[in-house]
């Protein structure tokens, strides 16, 4: 297939002015399309109705071959690199709300869209929430309102000298974050002039959702307020952060009691997910717990109820989707950080909460090395706060290298033959019903006979049987 031509000036202008193509760097849209023969267009469910029209306009303007990605493998906020690679795409255009997690392979251009924001009403709400003009406030926004933050900054900065506006950044920075700046969740803002983040307030422009919850748990020492453009109302956030953290710490205690842990793969595109999977396996192995890695797509109670032998699940996902409400699930679901609190004796609760699993990896800001293994005699006794039973609170020695960590050898029947079993197999043996049994050699052989006819509600021979 020949390389696509570059769009003309008029075509590029038409693309950049279309509301569906508004992005942080709109001028990059024609560039990305002109250098990539195959491009994947990823849409959330609410925008799929416009996918065909957008793809047709893109192909007509650039000559590149477009593939529409719908029904993403995991959350729609994450870039679905796996589906894009199945189509052979060399770049991805991601439409709609995004978690801005860095991707592993493909170049990505985020196109957030531009939802309307009443600047005057938002300014009035800010003045009502912060009557003190010397208030130190950091302004955050949902990505769909990032386009209007410049106008809001022009309105508020003359009145509030200690106000800081965050800006949206996509991808990882080439170097370390400069001192005195915060770069997290795809937002970057300076805090050195404010004297640090601990004494600042946070003003969020956007609707209530996972992004705001993640911000509040991570920066839990800051007082939050928000302005919802859909309703035009501003408010002080009433989410009881302490109560939410107490709920998360209860799940940490459940993780300490667990013996079998299921590692749920909630992303295949966020950079570092393979490293954190290996990190969690090693952590659980050292803690003496059995682990199984499960890829079930979007988790729901029906899917996870099939794994009754698992005591607790840990979800490896982006910073927004990792905080999954597991109240309706048969087993609780924790985050990688909560599992580290449960299994790493060197990590203590300091009041800081991390929803981005990349912060736990070696070299990151919140990494804590595992302490050396202790013998059972040297370990301090630990009692479960839930069951009241004694449990091991120390790291075990690594298992023998010739045996996998999740298997063991046992005698099978009276033949004294060695069979390899796992915790899942042991749990299956304890069940009263284990599925259909073949019973080879125990069932007499008979000729084929005609079965019942009809439908389940009324077979043809049911009337004769009851007469």
Q: What is the pTM of this model?
A: 0.77
Long-range contacts of 229-238 (CB under 8 A, 24+ apart): 229/115, 229/116, 229/117, 229/118, 229/122, 229/145, 229/205, 232/118, 232/121, 232/125, 233/125, 234/122, 234/125, 234/126, 234/128, 234/129, 235/129, 236/129, 237/204, 237/212
pLDDT in tens, 204-249: 999 988 899 899 989 988 999 999 999 999 999 876 777 888 888 8
CB 399 within 8 A of CB 405: yes
Which phi and psi angles does 217 have, rounded to 5°? -75, -35
CB 368 within 8 A of CB 343: no
CB 353 within 8 A of CB 328: no
Beta-carbon contacts of residue 140 (< 8 Å; ≥ 6 apart): 166, 187, 202, 203, 204, 205, 215
pLDDT at 160: 95
Three-state DSSP at 412 gives strand
pLDDT at 175: 61
- Domains annotated for the chain, with CATH where assigned, are 19-111 (3.40.50.11840), 119-239 (3.40.50.11850), 251-371 (3.40.50.11860)
Q: Radius of gyration of the chain from Cα atoms?
A: 28
- From first to last of its 467 residues, what are the pLDDT tens digits of the chain? 333 333 344 444 444 444 444 433 334 455 455 556 889 999 988 888 999 999 999 888 888 899 998 777 788 888 988 889 888 999 999 998 898 988 888 889 999 989 999 999 999 999 999 999 999 999 999 999 999 999 999 999 999 999 999 999 887 665 667 778 888 899 999 988 777 788 899 999 999 888 998 999 899 889 999 999 999 999 998 767 778 888 888 999 999 999 999 999 988 888 889 999 999 999 999 888 999 999 888 899 999 998 888 999 999 999 888 888 888 999 999 999 999 999 998 898 888 899 999 999 988 888 999 888 766 666 677 777 788 777 765 566 555 444 455 455 555 554 444 445 566 666 666 777 666 777 777 888 888 888 888 887 778 777 665 54
| Strand ranges (E), 230-306 | 233-236, 260-265, 290-294
Between the alpha carbon of residue 302 and those of residues 74, 329, 330, 436, 443, the distances in Å are: 16, 8, 9, 21, 34
Q: Which two tokens stand for residue 325?
A: 């409400």
How many angstroms separate the CA atoms of 378 and 442, rounded?
A: 54
Q: Which two tokens stand for residue 335?
A: 């985050």
Helices 210-218 and 241-257 pack at an angle, to 10 degrees, of: 80
pLDDT at 27: 41
């Amino acid at each position: 297939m020949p390389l696509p031509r570059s769009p003309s000036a008029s075509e590029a202008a038409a693309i950049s002015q279309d509301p569906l193509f508004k992005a942080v760097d709109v001028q990059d849209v024609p560039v990305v399309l002109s250098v990539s023969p195959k491009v994947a267009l990823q849409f959330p469910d609410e925008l799929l109705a416009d996918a065909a029209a957008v793809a047709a306009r893109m192909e007509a303007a650039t000559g590149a071959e477009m593939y529409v990605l719908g029904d993403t493998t995991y959350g729609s906020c994450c870039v679905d690199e796996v589906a894009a690679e199945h189509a052979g795409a060399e770049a991805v255009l991601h439409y709609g709300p995004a978690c801005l997690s860095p991707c592993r392979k493909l170049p990505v251009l985020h196109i957030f869209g531009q939802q309307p924001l009443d600047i005057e009403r938002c300014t009035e709400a800010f003045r009502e929430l912060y009557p003190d003009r010397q208030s130190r406030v950091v302004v955050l926004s949902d990505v769909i309102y990032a386009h209007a933050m410049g106008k809001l900054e022009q309105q508020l900065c003359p009145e509030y000298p200690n106000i800081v506006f965050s800006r949206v950044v996509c991808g990882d920075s080439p170097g370390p974050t400069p001192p005195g700046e915060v770069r997290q969740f795809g937002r970057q803002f300076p805090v050195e002039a404010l004297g640090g983040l601990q004494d600042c307030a946070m003003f969020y422009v956007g609707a209530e959702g996972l992004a705001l919850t993640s911000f509040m748990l991570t920066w839990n020492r800051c007082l939050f307020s928000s302005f919802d453009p859909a309703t035009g109302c501003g408010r002080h956030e009433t989410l009881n952060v302490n109560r939410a953290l107490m709920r998360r710490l209860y799940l940490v205690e459940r993780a300490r009691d667990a013996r079998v842990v299921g590692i749920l793969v909630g992303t295949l595109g966020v950079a570092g997910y393979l490293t954190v999977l290996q990190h969690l396996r090693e952590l659980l192995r050292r803690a003496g717990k059995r682990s199984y890695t499960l890829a079930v797509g979007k988790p729901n109670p029906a899917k996870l109820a099939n794994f009754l032998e698992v005591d607790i699940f840990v979800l490896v996902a982006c910073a927004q989707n990792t905080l999954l409400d597991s109240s309706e699930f048969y087993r609780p679901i924790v985050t990688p950080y909560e599992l580290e609190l449960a299994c790493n004796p060197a990590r203590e609760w300091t009041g800081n909460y991390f929803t981005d699993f990349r912060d736990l990896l070696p070299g990151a800001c919140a990494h804590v090395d595992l302490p050396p293994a202790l013998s059972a005699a040297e370990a301090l006794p630990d009692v479960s706060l839930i069951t009241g039973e004694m449990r091991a609170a120390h790291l075990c020695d690594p298992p023998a290298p010739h045996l996998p960590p999740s298997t063991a050898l046992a005698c099978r029947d009276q033949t004294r033959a060695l069979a390899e079993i796992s915790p899942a197999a042991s749990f299956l043996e304890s069940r009263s019903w284990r599925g259909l049994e073949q019973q080879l050699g125990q069932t007499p052989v008979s000729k084929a006979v005609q079965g019942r006819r009809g439908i389940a509600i009324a077979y043809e021979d049911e009337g004769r049987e009851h007469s």
